[in-house]
């Protein structure tokens, strides 16, 4: 073979090897999945529950009419600030005053009748005693004594009836006098008149079992303000009395107010919806604002953030790194897969034959069935030597961007954080290529925007 042929053959071999290497490199690059990563680190975390609701005063009084009549005097208007004991309005007292006067006259007449009945009773007793004495000398008959005794009983009954009539009239007088005292209304507390439902000259009615009556006005003490919010059922389990919170009021967009949880409702508040499946279940939580809010008004819309837990320094993982994967069931102690139901029954029968072996269901079979079930696990993809490994983790509280890691990872571990589609399709053992340039560019743009 000539020297030229040898050189040509050698060149061909080199080119073939180079082409094969290039193809392999291209194939490897094509198989590698481009991912974004972030390292696990110690961070300060704060778990927050957010919800919306309404502002309300801690103390609020609805003033209702307790007597029927026409409003003859009205000294205040909606929006007025009043002091405790200040005169508010008056219902026409004339009808009740006349009723009180008539009852007093009736009581006076009843007292006179009582006095007369008492005198008649005493006189009848004297007559009875006189006849008893005369009977000893045969100057009075038994019939005379019986008539006298009956007369005493009649006069005694009349006296008792007169006393009961006085008691009845006095009870009516107390009721009428009380109603007369109720025609004048004074402020039970200092505050703002937030609702006014009456005008001078209008008639008011009293409440009954089926009718609440006329609410004349509402007075709210705005020195102590609360926020009532509806917290979702999945979040309320972490809310406790005494936890700190911040309240944002829509009417005061530039300020947040410090607050504290003072009440957690035990009864669910179900939202109305045409579709029962779309109904929301919330629980009413009350927050006390710890600072005065000038110009505040009841029923203003608000939102609140309750801090349910904090960690000053804890291992944490980005929220977007967490995913769910289905893992195979556990193996037995020898490292072999769990036995099948038939094998489990055979092993049980061979080792300890008994009549119960033919009874049907075997507890061991049930246990192995459960152990063979595939289980969904929450975890992250850990990047090591260019390969993604799914690692189950146990999480604690959640912050705005991070979950607390209790088990499964250590400080400095590199986990896959993006993209969402990549994490969704990534499999344990996939080859990956880390490219954080896109993430750094996004962070830079975000920092530039402030």
Residues 234-269 have pLDDT tens digits of 999 999 999 999 999 999 999 999 999 999 999 998
What angle (nearest 5°) sits at the alpha carbon of residue 153, between those of residues 152 and 159?
A: 90
Average pLDDT of the segment spanning 183-198: 94
Taking the model in full, what pTM does it have? 0.65
Count how many residues are written for the chain: 450
Q: Which residues have a Cβ under 8 Å from the Cβ of 358 and sit 6 or more positions away?
A: none
- Please report, rounded to a whole number, the percentage of residues in the chain having pLDDT higher than 90: 64
Average pLDDT of the segment spanning 330-352: 41
Residue with tokens 């009428």, as numbered in its chain: 176
Angle, helices 142-181 vs 94-136, to 10°: value is 160
Asked if 92 and 205 touch (Cβ cutoff 8 Å), the reply is no
Tokens of 145: 């004594």
In this predicted structure, the answer to whether residue 290 has a pLDDT above a threshold of 60 is yes
Helix (H) or strand (E) holding 51: strand 41-64
Using alpha carbons, select from 383, 374, 375, 392 the residue that is nearest to residue 422.
Answer: 383
Using alpha carbons, select from 181, 270, 203, 263 the residue that is nearest to residue 228.
Answer: 263
Tokens of 32: 């590698």
Return d(Cα 399, Cα 340) in angstroms, integer: 44
Predicted confidence at residue 339, as pLDDT, reads 42
The least confident of 91-100, 149-158, 336-345 is: 336-345
Using alpha carbons, select from 380, 439, 440, 434 the residue that is nearest to residue 410.
Answer: 380
| Cβ atoms < 10 Å from Cβ of 202 | 12
The residues pairing with 273 across neighbouring beta strands, listed in sequence order, are none
Long-range contacts of 107-114 (CB under 8 A, 24+ apart): 107/166, 107/169, 107/170, 107/173, 110/162, 110/165, 110/166, 110/169, 111/166, 113/162, 113/165, 114/159, 114/162, 114/163, 114/166
Average pLDDT of the chain to the nearest whole number = 83
Give the pLDDT confidence of 403-437 residue by residue, as tens digits. Answer: 999 999 999 999 999 889 999 999 999 999 999 88
Q: Which residue has the higher pLDDT, 352 or 123?
A: 123
């Amino acid at each position: 073979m000539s020297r030229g042929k040898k050189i040509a053959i050698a060149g061909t071999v080199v080119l073939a090897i180079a082409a094969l290497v290039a193809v392999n490199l291209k194939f490897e690059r094509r198989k590698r999945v481009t991912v974004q990563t972030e390292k696990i680190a110690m961070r300060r975390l704060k778990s927050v529950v957010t919800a919306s609701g309404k502002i309300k005063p801690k103390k609020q009084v609805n003033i209702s009419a307790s007597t029927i009549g026409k409003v003859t005097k009205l000294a205040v208007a909606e929006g007025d600030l009043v002091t405790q004991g200040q005169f508010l309005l008056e219902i026409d007292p004339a009808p009740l005053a006349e009723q009180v006067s008539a009852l007093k006259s009736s009581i006076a007449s009843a007292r006179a009748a009582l006095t007369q009945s008492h005198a008649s009773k005493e006189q009848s007793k004297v007559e009875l005693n006189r006849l008893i004495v005369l009977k000893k000398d045969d100057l009075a008959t038994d019939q005379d004594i019986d008539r006298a005794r009956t007369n005493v009983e009649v006069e005694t009954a009349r006296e008792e009836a007169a006393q009961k009539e006085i008691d009845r009239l006095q009870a009516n007088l107390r009721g009428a006098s009380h109603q007369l005292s109720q025609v004048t209304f004074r402020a039970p507390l200092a505050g703002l008149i937030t609702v006014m439902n009456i005008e001078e000259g209008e008639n008011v009615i009293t409440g009954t079992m089926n009718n609440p009556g006329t609410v004349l006005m509402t007075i709210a003490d705005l020195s102590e303000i609360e926020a009532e919010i509806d917290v979702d059922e999945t979040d309320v389990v972490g809310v406790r009395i005494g936890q700190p919170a911040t309240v944002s009021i829509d009417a005061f967009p530039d300020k947040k107010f410090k607050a504290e949880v003072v009440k957690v409702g035990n009864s669910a508040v179900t939202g109305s919806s045409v579709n029962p499946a779309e109904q929301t279940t919330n629980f009413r939580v009350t927050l006390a604002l710890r600072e005065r809010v000038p110009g505040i008004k009841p029923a203003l819309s608000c939102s609140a953030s309750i801090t349910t837990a904090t960690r000053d320094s804890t291992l944490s993982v980005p929220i977007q790194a967490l995913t769910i994967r289905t893992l195979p069931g556990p193996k037995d102690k020898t490292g072999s897969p769990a036995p099948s139901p038939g094998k489990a029954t055979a092993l049980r029968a061979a080792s300890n034959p008994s009549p119960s072996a033919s009874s049907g269901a075997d507890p061991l079979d049930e246990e192995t069935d459960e152990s063979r079930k595939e289980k969904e696990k929450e975890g992250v993809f850990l990047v090591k030597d260019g390969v993604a490994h799914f690692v189950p983790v146990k999480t604690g509280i959640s912050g705005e961007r991070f979950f607390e890691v209790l088990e499964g990872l250590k400080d400095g571990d590199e986990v896959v954080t993006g993209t969402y589609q990549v994490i969704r399709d990534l499999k344990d053992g996939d080859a990956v290529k880390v490219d954080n340039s896109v993430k750094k560019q996004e962070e830079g743009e975000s920092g530039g925007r402030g």
